[in-house]
Chains A and B, each alone.
Chain A
């Protein structure tokens, strides 16, 4: 069974029809990339999965979205608990103005997970998982703002990992970073997929091709094509996909 199942999703920002009848399934422990031109709905779809769109007033959703077989938009679903299970990394690194340690511990604290000892271990474990531990282990009490942009983004990944989510959503996680930091993030995605299901939105088609198992191509709110990444890039089924990945528009 797929860990994420979207069935006939329509989404509106007041009058704007942002997603049109989108259906797809995402397998556990895979990396899925969403590509498409700006404003195509790929980020909107990503933010549906942890109900981040709830924060935007005047939106409307139709269709079903199942995570682990449960409808995440059903009545009585606790959004905070849902977001703990589905972590998110944003386009721009957004560490809290706290120490490096406190940034990672934050998710554990707000979810009341474990004692001091537990938190300390989990912070270390998360930083190691995000390949940042060696760079910061001697400055855990320094402000997270002292880190470089790339380090801050890995800190945000570590922060998301600390609460042990099932799924990790990444919204253009490398678009604000330099090539070396980008490469580090991509390596990280590759390592993380053994334990997590990763969904990543990206503007960068090479990146989608490098890191993902399956790719979805969005355009004007429609999911034009969703298939195995290799197939998508070597032999797309639709002409629009072909045009986009060969750079004829977008």
Chain B
């Protein structure tokens, strides 16, 4: 076959597949919006479920998911960033950092339901925190830890060494160099890692199943030792159990729509923050 023609065909295959991804995303979004928009109202967002979850809203689940996002970030972010700083800035030995990196990747490939079991054994039982926001946050925090570590490491690796040596040459210590040059420079990219982890946390069902999620709990949590409802689990409950599955279905789509919108809003805000900081510090 002639070269020009095969090039043309290959290009069209790439083009079609590239756009297919966009198409699939739009399809899913469109499907959820189409089916879910009907139930969206102020009541749906700001009220508790009533009448066997056939009426009312999903406010407790929204609040619960927020609590879990914040809680798990408090757990995963400092731990992950510090771990990444250690492997990327302090460990000179390639073998040790490779070993730590391999273990991090292994941690990342453990199925999320296993995290759920582990969280139940350790946080719920052994620490006797019970089914609670704090147990769920720790479980979700451990789940996203590898993601936070990996993205932070990549962000740190993108900081040119010339900036580090420039800082040392002025008499700055290693800690000062990390604190005042490396971290601020890497910050916009670290935020990207944070966005990814928030998306992951807000959608996970398995790890919260045995550690925090409540089937039906219309009142709001008053401490970190309370159970909460959460959007993904609520979605699961609405689609699989309850008094009337057919009648619950629109509520399920509505919940899915709220969940997706929440994640999109978080992504959007975070990318604004990222833009703001990379403008302020100059892109690297």
Contact = CB atoms under 8 A, between A and B. Distances in A.
A106 interface: yes
B105 interface: no
B282 A94 contact: no
A90 B162 contact: yes
B24 interface: no
A98 B181 CA distance: 9
Contacts of B184: 97-98
A128 B69 CA distance: 51
Interface in B180-204: 180-181, 184-185
Interface string A39-56: 000000000001010010
A83 B171 contact: yes
B279 to A, nearest CB: 8
B169 A97 contact: no
A244 to B, nearest CB: 29
Nearest to B159: A97
A96 B165 contact: no
A206 interface: no
Contacts of A156: 166
Pick from B92, B168, B176 the residue with the most CB of A within 10 Å. B168
Nearest to B94: A57
Interface residues of B, number: 23
Contacts of B283: 97, 145
Contacts of A52: 165, 168-169
A74 B48 CA distance: 72
Nearest to A113: B171
A97 B173 CA distance: 18
Contact of A107 (B92, B170, B284): B170
A96 B160 CA distance: 10
A54 to B, nearest CB: 9
Contact of A90 (B165, B173, B180, B281): B165
A80 interface: yes
A144 interface: yes
Interface residues of A, number: 32
B172 interface: yes
Interface string B203-227: 0000000000000000000000000
A163 B170 contact: yes
Pick from A52, A110, A160 the residue with the most CB of B within 10 Å. A110
A82 B168 CA distance: 10
A183 B35 CA distance: 70
Interface string B31-56: 00000000000000000000000000
Contact of B171 (A84, A92, A94): A84
Interface in A89-143: 90, 92, 94-98, 106-107, 109-111, 143
B171 A163 contact: yes
A107 B177 CA distance: 11
Contacts of B247: none
A159 interface: yes
A80 B166 contact: no
B170 A87 contact: yes
A92 B162 contact: yes
A94 B172 contact: no
B247 to A, nearest CB: 56
A14 interface: no
Pick from A83, A84, A144, A156 the residue with the most CB of B within 10 Å. A83
Interface of A: 50, 52, 55, 57, 80-85, 87-88, 90, 92, 94-98, 106-107, 109-111, 143-146, 156, 159-160, 163
Interface of B: 92, 160, 162-163, 165-173, 176, 180-181, 184-185, 280-284
